[in-house]
A and B are shown apart, each in its own frame.
Chain A
């Protein structure tokens, strides 16, 4: 009997240990705001994403005699729920993207931003000022902060031919060397680019499905997390991939021989934007915070620490020109990007199902 109990204990402990294997790191909000004369600015952002760097926070706090409190979001969807349920004045500044912005603006959860009050707004690359999801009825509700693209990364040691087209993912000569991304959005948008359809609103989903099924046997594998791709690339299991600009840059910094190309058909782009919550009691402070975030000084220091691409065009002038060119940090290349647009739940579900059909084909 004793042994049996010991055995059961062993099994339960094994179950427990294996259950703890995949915990995520989405910790809750930080300390409560301090009482006192100084105002408190409540910011919601991803954890360890630029704005909560202690040095940055300290600089802003000293400059404007304010306390900055960061709360962290686990997903865009959760941010939207938080906007809907929080009390007026609980949060001041948030970092939404196109997947929730039209909904948040439509439901009146955000307040318009007077861009004339932002000294640095004029330094933002022109294409970023015309993102349809960021505005409504001529009023701006969100200010772009950082961005990135998803395009082609390849190993120049093994891939000798010049690469300038997204058709490389359909090129038989690279069979078994390609790592396409396992993500319905990236997959469908890339296939749409290859077929000459509008990536955000493709006209013929059947053709896209066919194209993706055609692409499937050429892959070594699909990758999902950035970590998976790094291991594939470092292990020489893949030479060409559908890859993020940010991660390619950091892999380069780590000493990997990897090149990044925005194909002539264009590439997928994403933007993170700051917005001010309706009912914020610190609108002026919120404006100052956003202006500080898009200021050349902050943007330059973050990109040099391995952060995503800056929206401030002045930053590019101080970076290594080769880096600027390859990563597409210029107005012309940014103009070629197709920024991920807002999609309804119904559309997302349809796209996800299409991708599942491709993967289980």
Chain B
């Protein structure tokens, strides 16, 4: 074996101590009954599946994350495509512009959206000046739509960058070969560019969908009375009622959903590959 593999040991050590071990501690909690002197039980998992409300909130969160992923894809692909094939100079500036919002805290960004979307806010003023809406209030704030808008803004850069990376690797010679074989631009895109950029699309979808499942700040700040998601349940368990055992169980159910969705998406990537 190559000796250099030992160079990995600090990273492996950190991962073990700060990721794997805590995960097992959480598994332990999730199978523990409440109260002092708890014993082994699967009650925490049973509670989740026996009450409609947890399933309802999970389904709501999955749906919301799905919308966020699809909208992010629709925005990101054309953007990445243009950045790779049309724009010559200034790519780095564009990339920077995408990354800069990441330097602000998520909470601050959620509040900023409040200022834009609220009745009498910037968006309403602009739309009214353009005569796109009447004199009534915008009514966008404190709705699920507002949450999705803010989440797309937060997560779509992951998608742009992964797609950008995979599009950049597409060999120009293949595109030219396709053209020389009389394929129109659409056919070339459909049969050459799209399949080759698929790994980027898949990892982009994973990078957007997975963190979307765990959010709770944006739904609370922008979602109004409809802002409860499964992340809220976990937050409540850990910070409000110290139901660590049930909280851990819900976290693992969420993790299972994440792993499942990743498996499904990777299956897509393998097909036709």
Contact = CB atoms under 8 A, between A and B. Distances in A.
Interface of A: 3-4, 7, 10-11, 13-14, 17-18, 20-22, 75, 77, 182-184, 216-217, 219-222, 224, 228, 231, 235-237, 345-346, 348-349, 352-353, 356-357, 359-360
B56 A360 contact: yes
Given A11-B161, A22-B106, A219 B224 contact: yes
A3 B105 contact: no
5 contacts: A4-B165, A75-B242, A184-B241, A231-B111, A345-B34
Contact of B225 (A3, A11, A22, A359): A359
A164 B195 CA distance: 67
A3 B83 CA distance: 14
A10 B95 contact: yes
Given A220-B142, A352-B236, A360-B228, A3 B161 contact: no
A24 B111 CA distance: 18
Contacts of B51: 353
A14 B158 contact: yes
A264 B165 CA distance: 65
* Most B-side CB within 10 Å, residue of A4, A216, A235, A360: A360
A228 B60 contact: no
Interface string B50-87: 01010011001000000000000000000000000000
Given A18-B102, A220-B224, A10 B161 contact: yes
Contacts of B227: 221-222, 359
Contacts of B119: 237
Secondary structure type dominating chain B contacts? helix
Nearest to B220: A224
Given A11-B158, A235-B115, 15 more contacts: A11-B162, A13-B102, A18-B102, A183-B240, A216-B225, A219-B224, A221-B227, A222-B225, A224-B220, A231-B111, A237-B119, A345-B241, A348-B243, A356-B232, A360-B53
B240 A352 contact: yes
B221 A228 contact: yes
B107 interface: yes
Contact of B107 (A22, A221, A359): A22
B217 interface: yes
Nearest to A8: B165
B241 A22 contact: no
Contact-size category for B: 35 or more
A221 B114 CA distance: 12
Contacts of A21: 105-107
Interface in B10-58: 34-35, 51, 53, 56-57
Secondary structure type dominating chain A contacts? helix
Contacts of A3: 165, 168
Nearest to A235: B118
A349 B225 contact: no
A183 B158 CA distance: 34
B220 A182 contact: yes
B106 A356 contact: no
A7 B165 contact: yes
Interface in B226-250: 227-228, 232-233, 236, 239-243, 246
A7 B161 contact: yes
B141 interface: yes
A213 to B, nearest CB: 11
B105 A22 contact: yes
B99 A10 contact: yes
B224 A14 contact: no
Nearest to B169: A4
Contacts of A7: 161-162, 164-165
Contact of B141 (A75, A236, A237): A237
Contact of B240 (A184, A220, A222, A359): A184
A22 B109 CA distance: 12
A221 B34 contact: no
Contacts of A216: 225
* Most A-side CB within 10 Å, residue of B34, B224, B239, B243: B224
Interface in B117-155: 118-120, 141-142, 154
B211 to A, nearest CB: 8
B53 A357 contact: yes
Contacts of A353: 51, 53
